[in-house]
């Protein structure tokens, strides 16, 4: 039988056996090149200090679900209404994920629904705009240099950068350049002139709680929807340790891999039922459910990533445990410890501190900037990112560094450990200032990186810090799959 098969398909018995063996081999055997890159990345994650505020370490169970056979199945449509057969278990999984998503945020299924299919936060946001804002309709979001997100709209004098600004009309709102807090008064004035259809209550670099009640009032004045983008804080919201956007928003989007600590995906929550009742007692109902579901599929996406939905379902179950709440309280405590330790080292923190999982350190008074400091810290095995500070003149030379506590807290670090982390950061920034002083004040970032990597005394300093950072970081356990 095999011989006739091999004749028919021009494949020899040996080739077929070898093909079948290939399908069963572990990654390490089957593709040592990819395996070794993953190993190196695992080493970097284990022996470095991960302070990027949007990152986290997913649990073993989440990664197992993500690496499962759920990857193999197409299932365009929604539970009970699919375009392909064989979807009974996919339906069960998607319904479970929806149920857990509502439970994790204590939402009544009569009043809220959720779409668990968005591939990530950016497609989730775009799906919402597609659903409820007409082409070239108006959207207001926090400006990117002030701590917003690209998908909340972004354009320069020369060019519309974000698709939100290309296909819709975006007008940013700002933080106050001195205090770093959102300028709600100015937002209100501008909204009265701009008449947005949708206002976004969401941030990617803002260390303070949002005033959702005020934002809703501004939205209502203009007959606009209020969309919360809780991507950064969705784990904190699930744990109930920061104010929830659900009380005031009509729609809430999120990613699932930041503080929520799942795999990379997105969710859209939308209100159902009565939207408002007029003076005569006449009820208007929300019609978001079908608009949003249709925008996700068939509007924008193809088949849902069922392996990711499985991973999200697992993360949502974990998010409802007392252990998760304890973790999120520690995320907050660690962020405050990091913030106050850096203030003790003489640094300025934008807004003077943090209500959440991140801080923005302003390097202007130190005579250096975020781009240069980020490079030195990276060389010392400390991962963070440069970020504009309120009032920055140029987005090309951001003067701040954004640090977040979620990832290292997942490895078990507590306040004292974060004080040690602050010391490592301080040493890295001192070195940044020294390297910069050795160069012409107008030296480019490229020249800076060259000096850092070529001048022996700087290399020695980097090596000293790096050895200590790696020894320190290596003590803490690493969540995830043992082998990968
Ligand atoms: N990349 C994320 C962040 O770092 O905030 C936003 O999508």
Give 353-406 pLDDT, tens digit per residue: 999 999 999 999 998 999 999 999 999 999 999 999 998 988 889 999 999 999
pLDDT in tens, 22-73: 999 999 999 999 999 999 999 999 999 999 999 999 999 999 999 999 999 9
Closest among 147, 173, 150 to 162, alpha carbons compared? 150
Per DSSP, the three-state class of 352 is helix
The best mutation among 151, 258, 265, 356 to test binding of ligand 1, ranked by most ligand atoms within 8 Å of the C-beta, falls on: 258
Q: pLDDT at residue 318 above 70?
A: yes
What's the rounded Cα separation, in Å, for the pair 125 and 25?
39
In terms of Cβ atoms closer than 10 Å to its own Cβ (0-12, 13-18, 19+), residue 423 is middle
pLDDT in tens, 91-148: 999 999 999 999 999 999 999 999 999 999 999 999 999 999 999 999 999 999 999 9
387 lines ligand 1 (CB under 6 A): no
Burial letters 306-342, b for 16+ CB under 10 A, else e: bbbbbbbbbbbbbbeeeebbebbebbbebbbbbbbbb
- pLDDT at residue 10, as a whole number: 80
What's the rounded Cα separation, in Å, for the pair 137 and 195?
10
125 lines ligand 1 (CB under 6 A): no
Contacts of residue 208, Cβ cutoff 8 Å, sequence gap at least 6: 180, 181, 182, 351, 354, 355, 356
Per-residue pLDDT, averaged over 283-304, amounts to 97
**What is the whole-number distance in angstroms between the Cα of residue 82 and the centre of ligand 1?**
32
- Work out whether strand 198-202 and strand 225-229 pair parallel, antiparallel, or are unpaired: parallel
Contacts of residue 384, Cβ cutoff 8 Å, sequence gap at least 6: 51, 52, 374, 377, 401, 402, 403, 425
Q: Are the beta carbons of 339 and 353 closer than 8 angstroms?
A: yes
Give the other-Cβ count within 10 Å of 352's Cβ.
14
- pLDDT at residue 396, as a whole number: 84
Percent of the chain with pLDDT over 90: 95
Per-residue pLDDT, averaged over 192-219, amounts to 98
Q: pLDDT at residue 3 above 60?
A: no
The number of the ligand 1 atom at minimal distance from the alpha carbon of 55 is: 4
Q: pLDDT at residue 1 above 80?
A: no
Q: Are the beta carbons of 118 and 308 closer than 8 angstroms?
A: no
**What is the whole-number distance in angstroms between the Cα of residue 436 and the centre of ligand 1?**
28
What's the rounded Cα separation, in Å, for the pair 93 and 66?
13
3-state DSSP helix/strand/coil % of the chain, to nearest 5: 50, 15, 35
149 lines ligand 1 (CB under 6 A): yes
**What is the whole-number distance in angstroms between the Cα of residue 83 and the centre of ligand 1?**
33
Kindly report the protein residue whose alpha carbon is nearest to atom 1 of ligand 1.
Answer: 54
340 lines ligand 1 (CB under 6 A): no
Give the other-Cβ count within 10 Å of 475's Cβ.
10
Per DSSP, the three-state class of 40 is helix
The best mutation among 231, 357, 400 to test binding of ligand 1, ranked by most ligand atoms within 8 Å of the C-beta, falls on: 231
**What is the whole-number distance in angstroms between the Cα of residue 104 and the centre of ligand 1?**
22
- pLDDT at residue 5, as a whole number: 55
Q: pLDDT at residue 257 above 60?
A: yes
**What is the whole-number distance in angstroms between the Cα of residue 175 and the centre of ligand 1?**
19
Kindly report the protein residue whose alpha carbon is nearest to atom 5 of ligand 1.
Answer: 204
pLDDT in tens, 150-163: 999 999 999 999 99
In terms of Cβ atoms closer than 10 Å to its own Cβ (0-12, 13-18, 19+), residue 28 is middle
The best mutation among 232, 359, 400 to test binding of ligand 1, ranked by most ligand atoms within 8 Å of the C-beta, falls on: 232
| Average pLDDT of every residue of the chain | 96
254 lines ligand 1 (CB under 6 A): no
The number of the ligand 1 atom at minimal distance from the alpha carbon of 204 is: 5
Give the DSSP letter of residue 225. Answer: E
Question: Is 205 noted as a catalytic residue in this protein?
Answer: yes
Q: pLDDT at residue 7 above 70?
A: no
Question: Is 257 noted as a catalytic residue in this protein?
Answer: yes
- pLDDT at residue 394, as a whole number: 81
- pLDDT at residue 191, as a whole number: 98
∠262-264-268 over CA atoms, to 5°? 90
**What is the whole-number distance in angstroms between the Cα of residue 204 and the centre of ligand 1?**
6
Q: How confident is the model at residue 8 (pLDDT cuts 50, 70, 90)?
A: low
204 lines ligand 1 (CB under 6 A): yes
**What is the whole-number distance in angstroms between the Cα of residue 148 and the centre of ligand 1?**
10
Residue from 257, 305, 307, 357 carrying the catalytic annotation: 257
Per-residue pLDDT, averaged over 322-329, amounts to 98
Closest among 187, 131, 135, 128 to 152, alpha carbons compared? 128
Per-residue pLDDT, averaged over 446-475, amounts to 97
What's the rounded Cα separation, in Å, for the pair 333 and 70?
37
Q: How confident is the model at residue 2 (pLDDT cuts 50, 70, 90)?
A: low
In terms of Cβ atoms closer than 10 Å to its own Cβ (0-12, 13-18, 19+), residue 201 is buried
Percent of the chain with pLDDT over 70: 98
pLDDT in tens, 342-365: 999 999 999 999 999 999 999 999
**What is the whole-number distance in angstroms between the Cα of residue 361 and the centre of ligand 1?**
17
What sections of 386-455 are H helices per DSSP?
Answer: 406-410, 415-437, 445-454
54 lines ligand 1 (CB under 6 A): yes
């Amino acid at each position: 039988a095999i011989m006739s098969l091999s004749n028919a398909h021009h494949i020899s018995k040996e080739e077929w056996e070898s093909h079948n063996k290939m399908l069963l081999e572990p990654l390490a055997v089957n593709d040592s090149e990819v395996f070794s890159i993953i190993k190196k990345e695992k080493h970097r994650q284990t022996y470095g200090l991960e302070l990027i505020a949007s990152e986290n370490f997913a649990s073993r169970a989440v990664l197992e679900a993500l690496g499962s056979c759920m990857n193999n199945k197409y299932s365009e449509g929604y539970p009970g209404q699919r375009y392909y057969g064989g979807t009974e278990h996919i339906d069960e999984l998607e319904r479970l994920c929806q149920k857990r998503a509502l439970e994790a945020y204590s939402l009544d299924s009569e009043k809220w629904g959720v779409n668990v299919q968005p591939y990530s936060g950016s497609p989730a946001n775009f799906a919402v705009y597609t659903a409820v804002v007409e082409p070239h309709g108006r959207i207001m979001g926090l400006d990117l240099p002030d701590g917003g997100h690209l998908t909340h709209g972004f354009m320069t004098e020369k060019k519309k950068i974000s698709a939100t600004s290309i296909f819709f009309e975006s007008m940013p709102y700002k933080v106050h350049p001195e205090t770093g807090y959102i300028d709600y008064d100015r937002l209100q004035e501008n909204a009265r002139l701009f008449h947005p259809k949708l206002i976004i209550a969401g941030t990617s670099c803002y260390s303070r709680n949002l005033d959702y009640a005020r934002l809703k009032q501004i939205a209502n004045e203009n007959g606009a929807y209020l969309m919360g983008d809780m991507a950064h804080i969705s784990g904190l919201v699930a744990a109930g340790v920061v104010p929830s956007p659900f009380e005031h928003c009509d729609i809430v989007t999120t990613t699932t891999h930041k503080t929520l600590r799942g795999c990379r995906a997105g969710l859209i929550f939308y209100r159902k039922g009565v939207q408002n009742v007029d003076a005569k007692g006449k009820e208007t109902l929300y019609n978001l459910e079908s608009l949003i579901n249709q925008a996700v599929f068939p509007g924008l996406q193809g088949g849902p990533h069922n392996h990711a939905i499985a991973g999200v379902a697992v993360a949502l179950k974990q998010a409802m445990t007392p252990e998760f709440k304890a973790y999120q309280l520690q995320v907050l405590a660690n962020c405050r410890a990091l913030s106050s330790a850096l203030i003790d080292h003489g640094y300025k923190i934008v807004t003077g501190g943090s209500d959440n999982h991140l801080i923005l350190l302003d390097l202007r008074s130190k005579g250096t900037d975020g781009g240069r400091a980020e490079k030195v810290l990276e060389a010392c095995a400390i991962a963070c990112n440069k970020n504009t500070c309120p009032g920055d003149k140029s987005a090309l030379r951001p003067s701040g560094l954004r640090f977040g506590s979620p990832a290292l807290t997942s490895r078990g670090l507590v306040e004292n450990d974060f004080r040690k982390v602050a010391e490592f950061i301080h040493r890295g920034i001192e070195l940044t200032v020294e390297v910069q002083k050795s160069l012409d004040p107008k030296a480019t970032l490229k020249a800076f990186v060259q000096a850092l990597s070529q001048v022996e005394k700087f290399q020695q300093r980097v090596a000293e810090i790096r050895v200590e950072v790696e020894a320190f970081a290596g003590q803490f356990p690493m969540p995830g799959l043992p082998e990968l």
